[in-house]
């Protein structure tokens, strides 16, 4: 028996004693899929400076090549989100084929309505009807792109808002937002989902048209069953209980997806799980709880969540940063799978605060290394994807791309 086999046997015995079926846990871990963002592979920075790294992809095709490395080494990142026009190409069918040749596919299509001068006072909520029309046409263009590349997820985030009291008519803009989104909604195929993201500030500093989950939820409800809310973990004020929002939206069958990242102060876009891993664990706890709900609608919602990463790696090399992010998500998911929810419920029924809290926290404190090693071995991916990336030579192989690649 190798050291690894002994460690796993002990782990299995410990978990069996806790009432956990490891075969089920492993099956769920193998089924986890995390989408990576094309823009996470390009140059990025802050409003102070965009740093250029050597080897950064020069076009969307090269971004897919980098994303394919992340999938190859982790086994759980088979799709890549695109942002239009950052990833604009002449032939989307060709991009789709390129992705497939690399063993990945095109995931969520993200319209981009915040990079053009005309959008200085907003896009779909601009008081100028010509700008609103242009913005809506772009949303419709993205539905067409999604059809071409075979994607059924459209992720929407709007920078629209204002900086000063009195600057805009907030209620009119609310109506314009609905108008544009319902036109887009009508254009979608029955398989497509519109995921509506919210953010409380930045780049607008006084009001943002879709500022919080309540506004996104209301919009999704008004639009219909194919519209759902996207929770970007960085888009909340300090101290917000994100897992509560997650539980609420799941219960309403309106949680469509996540943009994972970590934050300290605001929308910092840092590696998910690096600053607040317990929050990530507690989010998964709520999702797994909903996935076992007696209401089949809630269960289905939990099963259909699109897990996506939305980060920019400004000071760290991008491909290993993405691998690290995916591993962090996988680790917290694994820990959440080890919560004995019957034990939690039983303590809740007894109104035993400490037992209930302990039943959740004790799973977080378990070292899941033996479990993850076993899963990776069964999936045929490296036991240590970070090390495997370092040793692969891929980082050197892309250096001839030079500096000054695509930036977000």
Tokens of 64: 């897919």
* Minimum CB distance to ligand PSV smaller for 154 or for 360: 154
Q: How far is the CB of 390 from ligand PSV (least distance, A)?
A: 27
Q: Give the nearest distance from C-beta 306 to ligand PSV in angstroms.
A: 13
- Per the CB < 8 A criterion, the answer to whether 142 and 153 are in contact is no
259 binding ligand PSV? (CB under 6 A): yes
Of residues 45 and 277, the one with the C-beta less far from ligand PSV: 45
* Residue in 124, 306, 291 with CA at minimum distance from that of residue 232: 306
Interacting partner of 110 out of Mn ion, ligand PSV, none (Cβ under 5 to 8 A depending on kind): ligand PSV
Considering CB under 5 A, how many residues would be counted as binding Mn ion? 3
Q: Shortest approach of ligand PSV to residue 341 CB, angstroms? A: 31
Of 39, 281, 285, 333, the one binding ligand PSV (CB under 6 A) is 39
One character per residue 169-198, x = contact with ligand PSV (rule: CB under 6 A): ----------------------------x-
User: Going residue by residue from 194 to 233, which x/- string records binding to ligand PSV, judged by CB under 6 A?
Assistant: ---x-x--------------------------------x-
The contact mask relative to Mn ion for 214-243 (x = CB under 5 A, - = no) is ------------------x-----------
Per CB under 6 A, does 236 bind ligand PSV? Answer: no
Query: Does residue 41 bind ligand PSV (CB under 6 A)?
Result: no
Instruction: State which residue has the least CB distance to ligand PSV.
Output: 157
Task: List the interface residues with ligand PSV, window 284-313 (CB under 6 A).
Answer: 310
Span 252-291, contacts to Mn ion by CB under 5 A? 259
- Judged by CB under 6 A, the residue of 141, 183, 252, 267 near ligand PSV is 267
For the bound state, the minimum distance from the C-beta of residue 277 to Mn ion, rounded and expressed in Å, comes to 19
Nearer to Mn ion, 65 or 232 (CB): 232
Residues at the contact surface with Mn ion, assessed by CB under 5 A:
232, 259, 310
């Amino acid at each position: 028996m190798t050291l690894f086999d002994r460690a796993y046997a002990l782990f299995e015995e410990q978990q069996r004693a806790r009432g956990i079926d490891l075969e089920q846990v492993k099956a769920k871990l193998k089924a986890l899929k995390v989408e990576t963002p094309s823009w996470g592979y390009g140059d990025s920075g802050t409003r102070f400076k965009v740093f250029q790294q050597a080897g950064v992809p020069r076009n969307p095709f090269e971004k897919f090549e980098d994303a394919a490395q992340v999938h190859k080494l982790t086994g759980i990142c088979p799709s890549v989100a695109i942002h239009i026009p950052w990833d604009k190409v002449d032939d989307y069918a060709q991009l789709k084929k390129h992705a497939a040749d690399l063993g990945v596919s095109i995931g969520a299509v993200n319209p981009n309505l915040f990079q053009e001068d005309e959008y200085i006072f907003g896009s779909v909520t601009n008081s100028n009807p010509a700008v609103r029309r242009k913005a809506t046409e772009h949303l419709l263009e993205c539905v067409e792109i999604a059809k071409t590349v075979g994607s059924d997820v459209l992720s929407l985030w709007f920078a629209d808002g204002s900086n000063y009291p009195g600057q805009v008519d907030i209620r009119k803009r609310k109506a314009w937002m609905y108008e544009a989104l319902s036109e887009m909604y009508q254009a979608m195929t029955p398989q497509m989902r519109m995921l509506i993201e919210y953010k409380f500030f930045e780049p607008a500093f006084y009001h943002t048209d879709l500022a919080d989950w309540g506004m996104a939820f209301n919009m999704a409800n008004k639009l219909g069953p194919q519209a759902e809310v996207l929770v970007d973990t960085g888009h909340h004020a300090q101290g917000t209980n994100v897992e509560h929002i997650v539980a609420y939206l799941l219960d309403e069958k309106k949680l469509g997806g996540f943009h994972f990242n970590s934050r300290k102060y605001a929308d910092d876009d840092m590696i998910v799980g690096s600053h607040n891993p317990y929050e990530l664990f507690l989010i998964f706890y709520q999702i797994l709880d909903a996935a076992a709900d007696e209401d089949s609608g809630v269960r289905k919602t939990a099963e259909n969540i699109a897990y996506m990463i939305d980060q920019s790696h400004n000071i760290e090399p991008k491909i290993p940063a993405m691998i690290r992010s995916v591993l962090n998500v996988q680790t917290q998911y694994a820990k959440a799978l080890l919560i004995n929810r019957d034990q939690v419920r039983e303590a809740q029924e007894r109104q035993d605060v400490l037992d209930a809290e302990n039943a959740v926290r004790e799973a977080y404190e378990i070292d899941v290394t033996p479990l993850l090693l076993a899963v990776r071995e069964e999936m045929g991916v490296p036991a240590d994807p970070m090390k495997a990336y370092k040793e692969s030579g891929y980082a050197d192989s892309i250096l001839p791309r030079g500096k000054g690649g695509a930036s977000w």
